[in-house]
Amino acid sequence: MDLVDLRYLSIAVETGSLSSAAQSLGIKPSTISRRIVRLEDELGVTIFERGSFGIRLTAAGRDLMVLVRRTLDSLDAVTRAGKSSGAARTGRLRLGVRMPPIGRPLQPLLADWRIRHPGVVLTLHELNDNQIAEALAERSLDAAFVTTYAPRRGANTVPIYREPLVAALPEGHRLASYDSLMWDLLRGHTFLTQGWEDSHAAREFYASLLGDVTKFSSHPASKQSVMALVGAGFGITLAAQSQAEVAFPGVVYKPIREDNAWVQVELAWRPTTEDPAVGRFIAFMRDEAQSRRLL
Protein backbone atom coordinates (compact mmCIF):
# COMPACT_ATOMS: atom_id res chain seq x y z
CA MET A 1 0.00 0.00 0.00
CA ASP A 2 1.36 3.42 -1.04
CA LEU A 3 0.71 6.52 1.06
CA VAL A 4 0.35 8.45 -2.19
CA ASP A 5 -2.70 6.28 -2.99
CA LEU A 6 -4.22 7.23 0.35
CA ARG A 7 -3.66 10.93 -0.35
CA TYR A 8 -5.22 10.59 -3.80
CA LEU A 9 -8.19 8.83 -2.24
CA SER A 10 -8.61 11.54 0.41
CA ILE A 11 -8.50 14.34 -2.18
CA ALA A 12 -11.01 12.51 -4.39
CA VAL A 13 -13.41 12.28 -1.43
CA GLU A 14 -12.92 15.98 -0.59
CA THR A 15 -13.46 17.21 -4.17
CA GLY A 16 -16.28 14.78 -4.95
CA SER A 17 -14.96 13.67 -8.35
CA LEU A 18 -11.91 12.04 -9.86
CA SER A 19 -11.51 14.77 -12.49
CA SER A 20 -11.54 17.54 -9.87
CA ALA A 21 -9.07 15.61 -7.73
CA ALA A 22 -6.79 15.06 -10.75
CA GLN A 23 -6.96 18.75 -11.65
CA SER A 24 -5.98 19.82 -8.11
CA LEU A 25 -3.04 17.39 -8.17
CA GLY A 26 -1.94 18.29 -11.67
CA ILE A 27 -2.26 14.73 -12.99
CA LYS A 28 -4.51 12.92 -15.49
CA PRO A 29 -7.91 11.58 -14.26
CA SER A 30 -6.95 8.16 -15.58
CA THR A 31 -3.91 8.13 -13.27
CA ILE A 32 -5.90 8.75 -10.10
CA SER A 33 -8.63 6.35 -11.23
CA ARG A 34 -6.08 3.59 -11.87
CA ARG A 35 -4.43 4.05 -8.48
CA ILE A 36 -7.73 3.98 -6.59
CA VAL A 37 -8.80 0.81 -8.46
CA ARG A 38 -5.46 -0.74 -7.51
CA LEU A 39 -6.10 0.22 -3.88
CA GLU A 40 -9.57 -1.35 -4.01
CA ASP A 41 -8.08 -4.56 -5.41
CA GLU A 42 -5.41 -4.64 -2.72
CA LEU A 43 -7.91 -4.11 0.12
CA GLY A 44 -10.62 -6.32 -1.42
CA VAL A 45 -13.36 -3.70 -1.01
CA THR A 46 -15.24 -1.32 -3.29
CA ILE A 47 -14.52 2.19 -2.04
CA PHE A 48 -16.61 4.21 -4.52
CA GLU A 49 -19.89 3.77 -6.32
CA ARG A 50 -19.44 5.25 -9.80
CA GLY A 51 -22.19 6.60 -12.05
CA SER A 52 -23.56 9.65 -13.82
CA PHE A 53 -23.57 11.35 -10.41
CA GLY A 54 -19.78 10.98 -10.23
CA ILE A 55 -18.40 9.05 -7.26
CA ARG A 56 -19.92 8.22 -3.89
CA LEU A 57 -18.42 6.35 -0.95
CA THR A 58 -19.76 2.90 -0.21
CA ALA A 59 -20.43 1.85 3.38
CA ALA A 60 -17.08 0.06 3.38
CA GLY A 61 -15.50 3.17 1.87
CA ARG A 62 -16.87 5.38 4.66
CA ASP A 63 -15.43 3.05 7.29
CA LEU A 64 -12.11 2.97 5.47
CA MET A 65 -11.92 6.76 5.22
CA VAL A 66 -12.03 7.09 9.02
CA LEU A 67 -8.76 5.14 9.20
CA VAL A 68 -7.27 6.85 6.14
CA ARG A 69 -7.83 10.32 7.58
CA ARG A 70 -6.42 9.23 10.94
CA THR A 71 -3.33 7.81 9.23
CA LEU A 72 -2.74 10.93 7.11
CA ASP A 73 -3.27 13.24 10.12
CA SER A 74 -0.68 11.27 12.09
CA LEU A 75 1.78 11.41 9.21
CA ASP A 76 1.27 15.17 8.88
CA ALA A 77 1.89 15.58 12.62
CA VAL A 78 5.16 13.65 12.33
CA THR A 79 6.21 15.79 9.37
CA ARG A 80 5.40 19.03 11.21
CA ALA A 81 7.29 17.89 14.31
CA GLY A 82 10.31 16.93 12.23
CA LYS A 83 10.37 20.24 10.40
CA SER A 84 9.92 22.15 13.65
CA SER A 85 12.77 20.26 15.31
CA GLY A 86 14.98 20.60 12.27
CA ALA A 87 14.43 24.35 12.26
CA ALA A 88 15.22 24.42 16.01
CA ARG A 89 11.79 25.88 16.81
CA THR A 90 11.42 23.21 19.49
CA GLY A 91 13.85 21.13 21.51
CA ARG A 92 15.97 21.19 24.64
CA LEU A 93 19.27 22.87 25.39
CA ARG A 94 21.40 21.97 28.43
CA LEU A 95 23.72 24.94 28.91
CA GLY A 96 26.69 24.99 31.27
CA VAL A 97 28.10 28.19 32.77
CA ARG A 98 31.21 28.93 34.81
CA MET A 99 29.87 32.26 36.03
CA PRO A 100 26.22 33.21 36.62
CA PRO A 101 24.84 34.95 33.49
CA ILE A 102 24.44 38.31 35.22
CA GLY A 103 24.39 41.64 33.41
CA ARG A 104 25.80 42.54 30.03
CA PRO A 105 26.56 41.16 27.57
CA LEU A 106 25.47 37.58 28.31
CA GLN A 107 22.07 38.27 29.85
CA PRO A 108 20.81 40.30 26.85
CA LEU A 109 22.12 37.58 24.49
CA LEU A 110 20.16 34.91 26.34
CA ALA A 111 17.08 37.14 26.46
CA ASP A 112 17.15 37.62 22.67
CA TRP A 113 17.63 33.87 22.13
CA ARG A 114 14.58 33.15 24.29
CA ILE A 115 12.44 35.64 22.37
CA ARG A 116 13.44 34.21 18.98
CA HIS A 117 13.27 30.54 20.04
CA PRO A 118 10.49 30.29 22.66
CA GLY A 119 9.92 26.60 21.89
CA VAL A 120 13.43 25.57 22.96
CA VAL A 121 13.57 24.69 26.67
CA LEU A 122 16.85 25.91 28.18
CA THR A 123 18.23 24.36 31.39
CA LEU A 124 21.16 26.11 33.09
CA HIS A 125 23.91 24.16 34.89
CA GLU A 126 26.44 26.14 36.95
CA LEU A 127 29.59 24.00 37.27
CA ASN A 128 33.32 24.40 37.76
CA ASP A 129 35.74 24.19 34.82
CA ASN A 130 36.54 20.48 35.08
CA GLN A 131 32.92 19.53 35.63
CA ILE A 132 31.93 21.43 32.48
CA ALA A 133 34.65 19.69 30.44
CA GLU A 134 33.54 16.27 31.74
CA ALA A 135 29.84 17.01 31.17
CA LEU A 136 30.51 18.04 27.56
CA ALA A 137 32.55 14.88 26.98
CA GLU A 138 29.83 12.71 28.53
CA ARG A 139 27.10 14.61 26.62
CA SER A 140 25.22 15.56 29.76
CA LEU A 141 25.68 19.16 28.56
CA ASP A 142 24.99 20.37 25.02
CA ALA A 143 27.04 23.56 25.19
CA ALA A 144 28.76 25.74 27.78
CA PHE A 145 30.13 29.22 28.25
CA VAL A 146 33.73 28.89 29.39
CA THR A 147 36.65 31.23 29.91
CA THR A 148 39.79 31.04 27.79
CA TYR A 149 41.75 29.47 30.66
CA ALA A 150 39.29 26.59 31.17
CA PRO A 151 40.16 23.04 29.99
CA ARG A 152 38.71 22.02 26.60
CA ARG A 153 39.22 18.24 26.26
CA GLY A 154 38.33 18.00 22.60
CA ALA A 155 35.49 20.51 22.57
CA ASN A 156 35.03 23.04 19.78
CA THR A 157 34.93 26.68 20.86
CA VAL A 158 34.01 30.03 19.38
CA PRO A 159 34.77 33.36 21.11
CA ILE A 160 31.64 35.25 22.17
CA TYR A 161 32.63 38.27 24.26
CA ARG A 162 35.41 39.92 26.22
CA GLU A 163 34.71 41.44 29.61
CA PRO A 164 36.82 43.81 31.76
CA LEU A 165 38.04 42.62 35.15
CA VAL A 166 37.56 44.61 38.35
CA ALA A 167 39.01 44.21 41.82
CA ALA A 168 36.58 43.29 44.62
CA LEU A 169 37.73 44.69 47.98
CA PRO A 170 36.43 44.88 51.55
CA GLU A 171 34.91 48.27 52.26
CA GLY A 172 37.58 49.12 54.84
CA HIS A 173 40.52 48.05 52.67
CA ARG A 174 43.19 50.71 52.15
CA LEU A 175 42.84 50.37 48.34
CA ALA A 176 39.11 51.08 48.52
CA SER A 177 39.81 54.82 48.44
CA TYR A 178 41.52 54.60 45.03
CA ASP A 179 39.59 55.52 41.89
CA SER A 180 41.32 52.76 39.91
CA LEU A 181 44.03 50.18 40.49
CA MET A 182 47.08 48.66 38.79
CA TRP A 183 48.54 45.17 39.19
CA ASP A 184 51.46 46.52 41.24
CA LEU A 185 49.03 47.90 43.83
CA LEU A 186 47.21 44.57 44.08
CA ARG A 187 50.27 42.32 44.40
CA GLY A 188 51.12 41.37 47.94
CA HIS A 189 47.50 41.01 49.03
CA THR A 190 45.75 37.70 49.66
CA PHE A 191 43.59 36.73 46.69
CA LEU A 192 40.56 34.55 47.22
CA THR A 193 39.75 32.21 44.32
CA GLN A 194 37.37 29.41 43.54
CA GLY A 195 39.25 26.13 43.47
CA TRP A 196 38.66 22.41 43.84
CA GLU A 197 41.08 19.50 44.18
CA ASP A 198 40.85 18.83 40.45
CA SER A 199 40.29 22.40 39.25
CA HIS A 200 42.54 25.38 39.95
CA ALA A 201 42.15 27.13 36.61
CA ALA A 202 41.00 30.39 38.20
CA ARG A 203 44.06 30.58 40.46
CA GLU A 204 46.34 29.87 37.49
CA PHE A 205 44.65 32.65 35.53
CA TYR A 206 45.06 35.10 38.41
CA ALA A 207 48.73 34.10 38.69
CA SER A 208 49.25 34.85 34.98
CA LEU A 209 48.13 38.41 35.67
CA LEU A 210 49.58 39.02 39.13
CA GLY A 211 52.61 36.72 39.22
CA ASP A 212 53.35 33.45 40.99
CA VAL A 213 54.48 35.18 44.18
CA THR A 214 50.90 36.27 44.89
CA LYS A 215 49.34 34.62 47.93
CA PHE A 216 46.20 32.68 47.03
CA SER A 217 43.46 31.22 49.19
CA SER A 218 41.34 28.71 47.24
CA HIS A 219 37.80 27.79 48.21
CA PRO A 220 35.59 25.03 46.72
CA ALA A 221 32.60 27.36 46.78
CA SER A 222 30.43 29.56 44.58
CA LYS A 223 31.51 33.04 43.52
CA GLN A 224 28.83 34.43 45.82
CA SER A 225 30.46 32.68 48.79
CA VAL A 226 33.87 34.00 47.81
CA MET A 227 32.38 37.50 47.69
CA ALA A 228 30.96 36.96 51.17
CA LEU A 229 34.48 36.19 52.40
CA VAL A 230 35.76 39.36 50.72
CA GLY A 231 33.08 41.37 52.53
CA ALA A 232 34.16 39.73 55.80
CA GLY A 233 37.74 40.88 55.24
CA PHE A 234 39.42 37.55 54.42
CA GLY A 235 41.05 38.93 51.26
CA ILE A 236 40.37 40.39 47.86
CA THR A 237 39.45 38.86 44.50
CA LEU A 238 38.90 39.59 40.83
CA ALA A 239 35.51 39.67 39.19
CA ALA A 240 34.08 40.20 35.74
CA GLN A 241 32.52 43.62 35.29
CA SER A 242 29.05 42.08 34.95
CA GLN A 243 29.47 40.42 38.35
CA ALA A 244 30.15 43.85 39.84
CA GLU A 245 26.55 44.76 39.00
CA VAL A 246 25.51 42.61 41.96
CA ALA A 247 25.90 44.30 45.34
CA PHE A 248 27.41 42.25 48.18
CA PRO A 249 27.42 43.59 51.74
CA GLY A 250 30.83 45.02 52.64
CA VAL A 251 32.26 44.71 49.10
CA VAL A 252 33.38 47.54 46.79
CA TYR A 253 34.56 47.23 43.18
CA LYS A 254 37.40 49.13 41.55
CA PRO A 255 38.37 49.19 37.85
CA ILE A 256 41.82 47.93 36.90
CA ARG A 257 43.73 50.16 34.47
CA GLU A 258 45.80 47.49 32.73
CA ASP A 259 45.72 46.41 29.08
CA ASN A 260 45.39 42.74 30.03
CA ALA A 261 42.70 43.21 32.69
CA TRP A 262 39.99 41.28 30.86
CA VAL A 263 38.61 37.80 30.49
CA GLN A 264 37.35 36.24 27.27
CA VAL A 265 34.29 34.01 27.32
CA GLU A 266 33.82 31.33 24.67
CA LEU A 267 31.04 28.93 23.76
CA ALA A 268 32.13 25.28 23.84
CA TRP A 269 30.42 22.20 22.41
CA ARG A 270 31.30 18.69 21.22
CA PRO A 271 32.25 18.58 17.51
CA THR A 272 29.91 15.61 16.94
CA THR A 273 26.81 17.44 18.18
CA GLU A 274 23.93 16.99 15.70
CA ASP A 275 20.95 18.40 17.60
CA PRO A 276 19.39 21.21 15.50
CA ALA A 277 18.60 23.34 18.57
CA VAL A 278 22.25 23.20 19.69
CA GLY A 279 23.49 24.10 16.22
CA ARG A 280 21.08 27.01 16.00
CA PHE A 281 22.15 28.24 19.47
CA ILE A 282 25.84 28.16 18.52
CA ALA A 283 25.19 29.98 15.25
CA PHE A 284 22.99 32.56 17.00
CA MET A 285 25.59 33.35 19.66
CA ARG A 286 28.44 33.51 17.14
CA ASP A 287 26.54 35.79 14.76
CA GLU A 288 25.22 38.06 17.51
CA ALA A 289 28.72 38.39 19.01
CA GLN A 290 30.02 39.54 15.63
CA SER A 291 27.15 41.90 14.86
CA ARG A 292 27.29 43.46 18.33
CA ARG A 293 31.10 43.67 18.23
CA LEU A 294 31.50 42.07 21.63
CA LEU A 295 35.15 41.13 21.07
Note if the pTM is more than 0.85: no
Q: What pLDDT, in 10s, does the model give residues 150-161? A: 877 788 999 999
CATH number of 91-161+263-291: 3.40.190.10
CA distances from 106 to 69, 110, 157, 161, 227 (A): 48, 6, 16, 8, 21
Average pLDDT for 206-215 = 90
**Statement: 3-86 belongs to CATH 1.10.10.10:** yes
CA dihedral for 210, 211, 217, 218, sign (positive or negative): positive
Give the confidence band of 82 by pLDDT, cuts at 50, 70, 90: low
Query: Percentage of the chain surpassing pLDDT 90?
Result: 48
71: amino acid identity, one letter:
T
* Bond prior to 105 in cis (omega within 30° of 0): yes
Hey, where are the domains in the chain?
3-86, 91-161+263-291, 165-259
- Are 218 and 193 spatial neighbours (Cβ–Cβ below 8 Å)? yes
Please tell me the distance from the alpha carbon of residue 44 to that of residue 292, in angstroms, as a whole number.
66
pLDDT digits (tens, 9 = 90+) for 27-65: 888 888 888 888 888 888 888 888 777 788 888 888 888
Q: How far apart are CA 39 and CA 65, in angstroms?
A: 13
Establish whether domains 3-86 and 165-259 are of one fold: no
Alpha carbon separation from 158 to 87, 134, 155, 290 (Å, rounded): 22, 18, 10, 11
274 phi/psi in degrees, rounded to 5: -120, -5
Determine whether domain 165-259 maps to CATH 3.40.50.300.
Answer: no
